[in-house]
Amino acid sequence: MHELGITRNIVAIVAEAAGRRPVERVTVEVGQLAGVMAEALSFCFETVAQGTVLEGAVLDIVEIEGRARCQDCGAEFAMPTLYTGCPCGSHRLDRLAGEELKIKTMELKEMV
């Protein structure tokens, strides 16, 4: 499960950016074609965040739909898997979206 390693990297990157300030929420974008299971990231997050400034933080995962444009007919369409072809039958495609794996935002807790 490579999602554990990915979750460790997300926690490390956010913790470094936050410094000593506690993190309340992290938003991550995960593309449908990125080869990453969003559910596995969620499952790993609480455990990996323990003992860090992210402990108790909420992980929001925004799933990005796979999209492609056909090089033959020019049609733009949803691409739920890497093997999806164009409705015209072509597999000569430009992927437009769905391969993302980004830390989009982080919210820090108010310091009192």
Domain boundaries along the sequence of the chain: 3-108
Which token pair is 47?
A: 């455990």
User: In order along the chain (112 residues), what is the average pLDDT of each group of 10 residues?
Assistant: 91 96 97 94 96 97 97 97 96 96 95 67
DSSP for residue 34? S
**Edge-to-edge strand list for the sheet holding 58-64:** 58-64, 23-31, 101-108
DSSP for residue 19? T
The percent of residues in the chain predicted with pLDDT above 90, rounded, is 96
Which token pair is 28?
A: 């991550």
Provide the pLDDT for residue 1.
58
DSSP for residue 98? S
In CATH terms, the fold of domain 3-108 is hypothetical protein PF0899 fold (3.30.2320)
Average pLDDT, the chain: 95
Provide the pLDDT for residue 112.
63
Provide the pLDDT for residue 73.
97
